[in-house]
Structure 1
Amino acid sequence: MATLAQALELVSLLESELIRRRAEIDRNGEYYRGKQPLKFASDDFAKFHGDRYRDFSDNWVQVVADSPVERLDVTGFQASGEEKADKDLWQVWQMNGLDGDSQLGFLGAVNSARSFVLVWGDPDDEDTPIVTFEDAAQCIIAYEPGSRVRRRAGLKRWQDGNVDYATLYLPDQLWKFERPLSRQDKSPQMADVDDAMRLWLPPGAEERRRTWEPRDEEKLGEPNPQPNPMGLVPLVELPNKPMLVDDPISDVSGVVAMQDAINLVWAQLFTASDYASFPQRVILGAERPVIPKLNAAGEIVGKQPVDLAKFAVDRVAWITGKDAKIAEWQAANLAAYTAIIEVAVGHLAAQTRTPQHYLIGKMANLSGDALLAAETGLVKRVNEKKLWFGQALREVARLILLARGEDAKAKAMRAGSVLWADSESRSYAQLADALVKLKDIGFPFEWLALRYGLTPTEVADVVAMREREAEMDPVAAATAMLARRPGAEPDDGEDVDAEAEELDEVPV
């Protein structure tokens, strides 16, 4: 068991690594929201037009991030050796609202390269542990050397009000700490006041004020530290594109540079549209028009130049001088800019395996097979995420069972599986045709219902409905019974007569 000094040192080290990760996490989050600064612009262009396009973005990052998440739907959990999905695990999943929160967790992993799931027992309901998806900016896990699975420690750090909170999770302990918020949104004047008053503190008081302290047991209503009955770190990481020896990769990180380039081309297009989208005419060899300047008595006392902006509004100019000429500059070709943008969006589609009709929005005379082929890359991308997220969620299911005290089922869940909805998008006609063909070659109804997209719970309800319908139709029930008998195809006349006698005995 860790001592207080060891726990504080571990919190400090994990917090330092968490702070190092924050820069990329925050940047990806801003780009997903469309808050994208103007990059790659020349100094002169940024000087004159940077503020004009500060709030503009042609946000493709959000499309790239959302496209796989909308196809990631968990439908159940199945332990090793079981033929059906586990009802208790699905009940815990639903009671914690994870059918919706899981989408937030998957999106967080796609954007930030990872997200986390925390499992802890609920003292008010021992059968329903508390399960929450956590943000990558608040959580971190330390693994055993050489392992990407065995967790030695986990930290969750967050802010609430004017206080920083941290919870350290160890296999045998749980520590809770707090400290005054070190960074607050204050005016410069109040920050100066804080700096001045720190000089009044006794030596060492400021350092103590900024360090973590164990949270008060009386306020918590529980011991601190407290034992971890699960024997495992209850924090699980969902990695996106994991690597063997490096951090996982965000889907957004590779899109940022191209997104900046697209925004710059749009800014240049808008500027050209404003200044050079119409033919520009210039007058050569003529003096600037002037008008008389009158005093209060109406006498001419001088001359003043005509406001040239008036000519632009009135579209009329007075040209004087025998050598006056009119020249013209052609309008800018704005199609050149849009062609560049289309190429850049095509690169995004290829690099991220996002279907082009998701990005470009052009669909014309495409068959169902053509659409399936166009989405093959996205489907493979989604299936890869199911593989890695599924391993993590299987561990989450194991922790839920341990929190419920079901050690045997938790052991079976280590080799279990996570059930997902189909990654492919098909029309009902295509899906129904495929399922009918599968039924003809012998696939059972329950398997077909799962392939149709029903959850295991919905499949159980449909099976029960079918049984009730069969009870209301005895002839259909007897026919189904004969169909289930081995050797349902009779070999001679005696078998036919015997089956007929059985049907005669069925009450109608």
Structure 2
Amino acid sequence: MVIDITDQDAVFKRVEELARELESRAPGIEEHVKRYQGEGKTLRWASKKFDEYFKNQFAGFGDNWCMPVVDAAAERMKVLGFRAHGEAMGIDQQLQRDWLGSNSDLGSSEAFTMQMAGGRAFSLVHPADSPDKAPSVTWEHPETAIVDTDPVTGIDRDGLVMWRDDKYDFATFYTDSHFVKLKREHGQMRFENTEKMPQNGGWELRDEDQPFQMHHLGEVPLTEIRNKTLLDDTPMSDIAGVAALQDAVNLIWAYLMNALDQASQPARIVANADVPQVPVLDKDGQIIGSQDIELDELLKEKIMFIPGQDARIEEWTAANLEAFSKVISQIVEHIAAQTRTPPHYLVAKMINTAAESLNIAEAGLVSKVKERILYASKGIKKTFRLMAAARGATPQRLDALRAGTIIWDNIQYRSEAQMADVGTKLKSAGFPTEYVVEKLVTDPVEVARVMDMVKRERMMDPFLVAEERMRQGV
């Protein structure tokens, strides 16, 4: 929906629509992010008595498989640079300087983690001009940012970033030509107040002197980086299916620890004997009677009394607890299979594992990372394009960047021996040196540095120098 940016009421109404949509997304995103952080992973207590006895002792205990499932892929997504369409080699040096200068190497890494944990992440190229024209880029949490995209053209129509302090909700509304700063008092953002809320959501301008500020970026400065979707408008979280399996593991841990307390050590039974008693004292300390020991105290000591004649003491041997650990191991294997996470990321059992075996084990993860890179590329390309627009790029340059290529770090780990073997085979097959270096080093900056070394080394070889002169006819 395109609105007239000078129509204040229309802007307020549109901001309220985006704010409500953002608020509706928040619970699901918050749940997945908390799962990634490990919150809510406490043991599901097997019984009320177990909770009473051991709640403090095992507080916070539980497995968290959501974090390694996300990190295994996110840590392999690293942007090294951008190459405009029509350029065969190297990277755009100005964009590279701006990317590193705005700390986007760090910010994008956090965004990729949030992309897979929460389903979305956002980048914001700030439209306000800086003194040196260098673009300022921040990376926004999915609970605070939203972008509306035209479902037909795929072009972003507008976007909103929201945050709050002790008294106000603040927001900045972005279109492809303007941005507007707004605020409202607390409480109006909540759904329970929507019936009493005015249609404009109670928003007001933060800056009356400059209500609608222009920018020259030509696109909505806010960009969404999405995870996988199913041809709809709802990105999926990579840990949505892991949470239930993780709960099952923690439930079994609770039963196991309950069994460790109740059955792993021998339990004693005293048959045909009266339950021990303790004296009952009055306020002066005089014995006025007696009472049986509390049943809970006997259970803590693993003792059961059965009254009767001819007293005797017996015991039950410890239980076999391997069944619990086998089930936990099997569930962890299911987590690895369903999320394409290599088993050695989840279970530390690696002894003299061959490099080829590791490559096979990580094949699923490599495919998954390639897929996630594909989902993220649209948003990262737009971010680079906005950074170039912030410096006043020409329409021709922006078109070249629109069809450009993101240079990613190698997503498959290789040992030095494997890399040397690949390089030797490629060179033997006739590939040029620079192609081989690109395959092995990946980082365009390092590729250029290595090629400079190669050239200097060749210049020091008199035979190669003579051969080059003969070739040039000198």
TM-score range, shorter chain: 0.7 to 0.9
Give the alignment of 1:184-223 within 5 angstroms.
211-217=202-208, 223=210
TM-score (norm 1): 0.81
Q: Provide the rounded CA distance (Å) in 2 between the counterparts of 1:32 and 1:209.
A: 36
> Against the structure 1 CA distance between its residues 50 and 145, is the aligned structure 2 distance closer, same or farther, given a 3 Å change threshold?
farther
Q: Find the counterpart in structure 2 of residue 101 from structure 1.
A: 107
Alpha-carbon offset, residue 68 of structure 1 = 0.2
Q: Provide the rounded CA distance (Å) in 2 between the counterparts of 1:29 and 1:21.
A: 13
One-letter code of the match for 1:99? Answer: D
Q: Provide the rounded CA distance (Å) in 2 between the counterparts of 1:315 and 1:44.
A: 18
Whether 2:111 is the aligned partner of 1:120: answer no
Alpha-carbon offset, residue 412 of structure 1 = 0.5
> Against the structure 1 CA distance between its residues 209 and 13, is the aligned structure 2 distance closer, same or farther, given a 3 Å change threshold?
closer
Q: Find the counterpart in structure 1 of residue 38 from structure 2.
A: 34
Alpha-carbon offset, residue 314 of structure 1 = 10
Alpha-carbon offset, residue 239 of structure 1 = 0.8
Does the 8 Å contact 1:110/1:251 carry over to 2? Answer: yes
Q: Provide the rounded CA distance (Å) in 2 between the counterparts of 1:233 and 1:277.
A: 63
- Determine which of 9, 15, 22 is the counterpart of 1:5: 9
- 330-339 or 352-361, which moves further after superposition? 330-339
Give the alignment of 1:79-228 within 5 angstroms.
79-83=84-88, 84-121=90-127, 123-147=129-153, 149-182=154-187, 211-217=202-208, 223-228=210-215
Q: Find the counterpart in structure 2 of residue 448 from structure 1.
A: 436
Q: Provide the rounded CA distance (Å) in 1 between the counterparts of 2:352 and 2:100.
A: 41
- Determine which of 78, 82, 86 is the counterpart of 2:83: 78
- 367-376 or 225-234, which moves further after superposition? 225-234
- Determine which of 218, 225, 230 is the counterpart of 1:231: 218
Alpha-carbon offset, residue 207 of structure 1 = 6.6
Does the 8 Å contact 2:269/2:313 carry over to 1? Answer: yes
Q: Please, which runs of 5 or more residues in structure 1 have no aligned partner?
A: 185-203, 487-498, 503-508
> Against the structure 1 CA distance between its residues 294 and 56, is the aligned structure 2 distance closer, same or farther, given a 3 Å change threshold?
closer
One-letter code of the match for 2:466? Answer: A
Give the alignment of 1:85-484 within 5 angstroms.
85-121=91-127, 123-147=129-153, 149-182=154-187, 211-217=202-208, 223-289=210-276, 323-407=310-394, 408-479=396-467
SS of alignment partner, residue 136 of structure 2: strand
- 244-253 or 114-123, which moves further after superposition? 114-123
One-letter code of the match for 2:169? Answer: D
Alpha-carbon offset, residue 323 of structure 1 = 1.7
Q: Provide the rounded CA distance (Å) in 2 between the counterparts of 1:402 and 1:209.
A: 32
Q: Please, which runs of 5 or more residues in structure 2 have no aligned partner?
A: 190-195
Alpha-carbon offset, residue 217 of structure 1 = 4.8
Q: Provide the rounded CA distance (Å) in 2 between the counterparts of 1:107 and 1:406.
A: 31
Does the 8 Å contact 2:225/2:379 carry over to 1? Answer: yes
Deviation string, structure 1 residues 388-417 (Cα, Å, up to 9, x no partner) = 212221121112222211122111011111
Alpha-carbon offset, residue 79 of structure 1 = 0.6
- 162-171 or 53-62, which moves further after superposition? 53-62
SS of alignment partner, residue 405 of structure 1: coil
Alpha-carbon offset, residue 78 of structure 1 = 0.5
Does the 8 Å contact 1:36/1:260 carry over to 2? Answer: no
Q: Provide the rounded CA distance (Å) in 2 between the counterparts of 1:294 and 1:14.
A: 71
SS of alignment partner, residue 443 of structure 1: coil
One-letter code of the match for 2:121? Answer: S
Q: Provide the rounded CA distance (Å) in 2 between the counterparts of 1:45 and 1:307.
A: 14
Q: Find the counterpart in structure 2 of residue 192 from structure 1.
A: none
Percent identity reads: 36
Q: Tell me how large the CA RMSD over aligned residues is.
A: 3.5
Does the 8 Å contact 2:13/2:200 carry over to 1? Answer: no
SS of alignment partner, residue 351 of structure 2: coil
Deviation string, structure 1 residues 220-272 (Cα, Å, up to 9, x no partner) = xxx32111312211111111112212411010111111111111111121121
Does the 8 Å contact 2:270/2:305 carry over to 1? Answer: no
- Determine which of 60, 68, 72 is the counterpart of 1:55: 60
TM-score (norm 2): 0.86
Highest Rg: 1 or 2? 1
> Against the structure 1 CA distance between its residues 40 and 315, is the aligned structure 2 distance closer, same or farther, given a 3 Å change threshold?
closer
Q: Provide the rounded CA distance (Å) in 1 between the counterparts of 2:228 and 2:116.
A: 9
Whether 2:7 is the aligned partner of 1:21: answer no
One-letter code of the match for 1:456? Answer: P
Alpha-carbon offset, residue 328 of structure 1 = 2.6
> Against the structure 1 CA distance between its residues 45 and 156, is the aligned structure 2 distance closer, same or farther, given a 3 Å change threshold?
farther
> Against the structure 1 CA distance between its residues 375 and 313, is the aligned structure 2 distance closer, same or farther, given a 3 Å change threshold?
closer
